[in-house]
Amino acid sequence: MRTLAFQMPDRGSGPSGPRTRVGRPSRRMRTGLLTLGVLAVLAMLFVMFSGFWTDWQWYRSVRYSSVFTTTLWTKVGLFFFFGVLMAAAIGVNVWLAHRLRPPLSAMSLEQQSLDRYRMSIAPYKKWVLIAVTALVGLIAGASASSQWRTWLQWVNGVPFGQKDPQFHEDISFYAFDLPWFRFLLSFGFACVVLCLIAAALTHYLYGGLRVTSPGSRATAAATGHLSVLLGIFVSLKAMAYWLDRYGLAVKSSGLKSAEGWTGLRYVDAHAYLPAKTILFFIAAICAVLFFATLWRRTWQLPVIGFGLMVLSAVLIGGLYPAIVQKFQVQPNEQAKEAPYIKENIKATRDAYGIDGSKVTGYKGDYKPKDKADNERLRGDADTTASMRLLDPNVVSPTFQQQQQVRGYYQFPATLDVDRYKDKDGKEQDTVIGLRELNIAGIPERNWINDHFKYTHGYGAVTAKGTGTVNGGEPDYTEKNLPAKGHLPKHEQRIYYGEKTTQYSIVGGPQQELDYSDDSGEKSYSYKGKSGVDLSNPVNRAAYAVAFGEPQILYSGAIGDGSRILYNRTPKERVESVAPWLTIDGDAYPAVVDGRIKWIVDAYTTSNGYPYSSRTTLGDSTADSLTDGQRAVVAQQNQVNYIRNSVKATVDAYDGSVKLYQWDKKDPVLKTWMKAFPGTVEPKSKISNQLMEHLRYPQDLFKVQRQLLTTYHVTDANTFYTGSERWQIPNDPTTKSATAVPPYYLSMKMPDQKNQTFSLTTTFTPNKRDNLGAFMAVDANAKSPDYGKIRILKLPSETTVPGPQQVQSKFNSDDTVAKTLNILKKGDSEIEYGNLLTVPLDGGLLYVEPVYLRGAGTNYPLLKKVLVSYGNKAAFEDSLGEALDVVFGKKAPNIGDGDEETSPPDQGSSTPPTDQSVQDALDDAQQAWEDSEKARRDGEWSAYGEAQKKLKSALDRAAAAEKKAEQKGGSSDKGGGDKGSGQGG
């Protein structure tokens, strides 16, 4: 009877009789179509192969093939295991449901309507089953393969050696184990739900389930089958309730005094935790009832149990915690939450490495002074800090104009700050930039020029951070092409850099342009070992496909020794060889061991540190200098644990990547080192020269300062009220309302005896502009205090001006405004440099360089220095003069447009006191234009004369204006635009 019921007539044969050949393609056409089909398949396979092959070749070229193979086999293993598991589970359940189908001796109307579907799939049911299970398996396998990081961390997890306060589990359980268990649960739920759907459809199609037919709605076999699946589902739900108990320790919830709060609160410990435990037992009992239907053959008890579980979830898991929160917590929330706030503070400070931050000032032992008339302070100002007047965020156009040399070179928009020794062997803060290749500046663009001839940049350019020469120009310590100066001898060619994004083919028959000088172009052929060899025809074909450039396959410019260089930015290379690291947004160059090397800070992160509050890296690291390229792009956008555990280097010539273990205690790094053995070298392998240039990373510092706006408070009650919250002030030198960036400079805090290379920032009280605190971290990697965070907290009763208020004070000062108006004569533009803050003998010293971008030029020159201490401010030509004025050693010199290192005005005579301001300004404008023309033409003697005339004219303008004011008259050029420059 079963055979008759499911037998389907053969509907594939047509009417009998002779076959017609009308419309049938010829044999030649069929052969051609078959050939095209085979070629299309082969082409698609080769495209897939080329992507795999080029990746493999690249990893071999950088000697990190183990990273490629480990990642690949982990993904493949997860793909096949979970894909096959999902496909097998669905296939077995469909097969079982079909095998348990009832005989259709007396078909109902419902079954008669389904008969046509059964008949249509009967000849193909095996293929349909295979196709459906294969498709679901592919989707499940692809989803599982994306969990390769979770799997590797679970398999290789290293204990933290610390336990959470609620469940007393090692932190590694939350960081490594819990994410994998949650993935298994989610996979199990998906598998069971799909099996339920597939089994129910099969039972319905073959009569095991009935919807409209009278009598029993399900056969005993269907009831037992589906009950087992439902029992498995409820069992998984019970396991989910149990894991949810531990999930409370890493759950984010709202607390008004802290964003991103994570961990248990009172209601979690006293309502949600017992509720989850009760629901676990209810779900376990409900699962047993479902399994019992194998013998009872009725769903009455399981349905009652399931309803009880749902009702319990609503009442116990939802309503009860709401009642506890409303009637127990809210009336006395501060006292109830205090123990949990304490645990959150402790965990957060530990997870972000700020637990050792030292705060000075809670007892009022640091009181800023408002008087600056102390001669001792003038001497201390010189020894407290080496004020970096050369702002790396402003002077890049000056480097570009004066040291670009050729249009096909470029400097980054933001230069870097490092430390180098001067000719006397004394270490000094130095601004450095590399002359990288600018593909857009190539005189004639074509494929050969873009990828064969113009292949690399050339030379590092450095300048003193603390002074300028020749009318405000950088005082270069390494310059020209080839570069010469104070740096030790090194390989100057730059094949790998932040701006080098195109591929190049080097080392073959086509010669490269090395550099050009007065004697003409110099040729060069790459001698390094980086890149992938293109002499192999398979490699050439694969790269031609991967890069969409067929000329790679047949170009005569490629031959023996040709190598293709790509993935050339430092960040890109480190991310590729260590995909488990999060990379700092600012790689910086250093001359180390005879090579230019990019230094890249890398972080290990986690989102599973119990009780530690979460932060979004992209938001925490954004400031007035970051853009899409500078902000951290994290693999896990939200984290609650971070360590600068790896220092990486990328050789600018051969692209070699080195990873060094910087944090020997970090369990996350140890876990990844177990997963990828041999990829990270020990800290002892760092050379002395490299150690001299390592520094505390900016992005980690920015994350820490964001957390410290709240977590500098360690008292739970004060933390709850939020009365001591700080905020990061906006950058006062820009018009955008974005955070002020941290600044590197050599300085000493009040408890330090000597200056050290530091990274600094300021805080203001929440929703106020006065200064709240100053923070610095020892950024010198060779210092025994490296990484030590020091915070000076100002007494709340004082109103020391913050950065925004200091800038506003500068902008509103009449003397400053008048001088700026004189400088801006002739459409020149004012640009403010970094506003540096330094603690000085119980007070705070502000220093800001002021740059002038003159009419007819496109680069800024340092012209003035603003200094403020206490209630006094100065606006002078040099830092020394401004400090003398602020500390009472010298009277202000208003109107002097020259700077610290300009030659004295020996040729000018005493200006007549009755000269009008406008006439003097006209003379100043003409002198300025003459000096700029002489600069562009390289006539330095004429430039010096023009500068003398400019100074004389400005002196006359100031004297005439002062005389007019004394007589009560009005100056031709008074008032001024107080919002000039970027500081408006």
Q: Which residue has the higher pLDDT, 9 or 52?
A: 52
pLDDT: is 889 or 568 the higher one? 568
Name residues whose C-beta falls within 8 Å of residue 184's C-beta, 6 or more positions apart in sequence: none
**Identity (one letter) of the amino acid at 391?**
D
Q: What percent of the chain has pLDDT over 90?
A: 45
φ and ψ at 604, to 5 degrees? -100, 140
pLDDT digits (tens, 9 = 90+) for 201-214: 888 877 777 766 55
Distance between CA atoms of residues 454 and 544, nearest Å: 20
For 259-268, the pLDDT digits (tens) are: 778 999 999 9
Spatial contact of 923 and 946, defined as CB atoms under 8 Å apart:
no
Question: CB 969: neighbour CB atoms within 10 A?
Answer: 10
pLDDT category, 872, cuts 50, 70, 90?
confident
**What pLDDT score was predicted for residue 154?**
96
pTM confidence score: 0.84
Dihedral sign, Cα of residue 945, residue 950, residue 951, residue 952: positive
The rounded mean pLDDT for the chain is 83
Beta bridge partners, 759, equal 744, 777
d(CA 479, CA 400) in angstroms, rounded, equals 12
Report how far apart, in Å, the C-alpha atoms of 638 and of each of 374, 376, 609, 970 are.
Answer: 49, 49, 12, 60
Residue pair 230/290 in contact (Cβ under 8 Å)? The answer is: yes
Give the position of tokens 């644990």. 641
Give the angle subtended at the CA of 937 by the CAs of 932 and 940, to the nearest 5°.
Answer: 75
Tens digits of residue pLDDT in 46-86: 788 888 999 999 999 999 999 999 999 999 999 999 999 99
Amino acid identity for residue 24 in this structure: R
Least confident of 282-286, 717-721, 925-929: 925-929
Task: Answer yes or no: are the C-beta atoms of 543 and 54 closer than 8 Å.
Answer: yes
The span from the CA of 802 to the CA of 574, in Å, is: 39
Pairing type for strands 638-639 and 657-661 reads unpaired
Question: Is there a contact between 590 and 599 (Cβ–Cβ < 8 Å)?
Answer: yes
Under a CB-based contact definition with an 8 Å cutoff, are residues 883 and 381 in contact?
Answer: yes
Per DSSP bridges, beta strands 641-651 and 358-360 are unpaired
H or E element, residue 597: strand 595-606
Q: What is the band of 113 on the pLDDT scale with cuts at 50, 70, 90?
A: low
Cα-Cα-Cα-Cα dihedral sign, residues 261, 265, 271, 272: positive
Q: Which of 66-70, 207-211, 355-359, 863-867 has the lowest mean pLDDT?
A: 207-211
pLDDT in tens, 883-923: 888 887 766 664 443 333 333 333 333 333 344 666 676 67
**Which tokens sit at 873?**
């401010």
Which backbone phi and psi does 259 adopt, to 5 degrees? -80, 145
Q: Report CA-CA distances (Å) from 857 to 390, 852, 934.
A: 18, 10, 12
More confident site: 676 or 48: 676
What letter does residue 829 receive in the DSSP assignment?
Answer: E
pLDDT of residue 733 exceeding 90: no
561-565, 720-724, 961-965, range with the lowest pLDDT? 961-965
Confidence class for position 629, pLDDT limits 50, 70, 90: very low
Alpha helices in 146-219 (DSSP H): 148-156, 171-172, 178-205
56: nearest Cα among 502, 429, 539: 539
List pLDDT tens digits, range 689-718.
999 999 999 999 999 999 999 999 999 999
More confident residue, 616 or 962: 616
CA 535 to chain centre: 38
The token duo for 203 is: 């039972």
Residues contacting residue 540 through CB under 8 Å, at least 6 positions apart: 534, 552, 553, 558
Q: What is the pLDDT of residues 304-322, one digit of tens each?
A: 888 888 888 888 888 988 8
Identify which of 308, 500, 507, 499 has the alpha carbon closest to the alpha carbon of residue 415. Answer: 499
Q: Is 610 left (phi over 0), alpha (psi -120 to 50) or beta?
A: beta
Element (H, E) at 660: strand 657-661
**3 state SS of 272:** helix
Mean pLDDT of 158-180: 95
For 322, other C-beta atoms within 10 Å of its C-beta total 11
Q: Give the residue-averaged pLDDT of 791-820.
A: 83
How big, in percent rounded to 5, are the helix, strand and coil portions of the chain? 45, 20, 35
- Backbone angles phi and psi of 932, in degrees to 5: -70, -40
Cα three-residue angle 773-776-778, rounded to 5 degrees: 160
- The tokens for 497 are 């850099």
Specify which residues 661 forms β-bridges with.
646
- Looking at residue 976, its pLDDT comes to 37
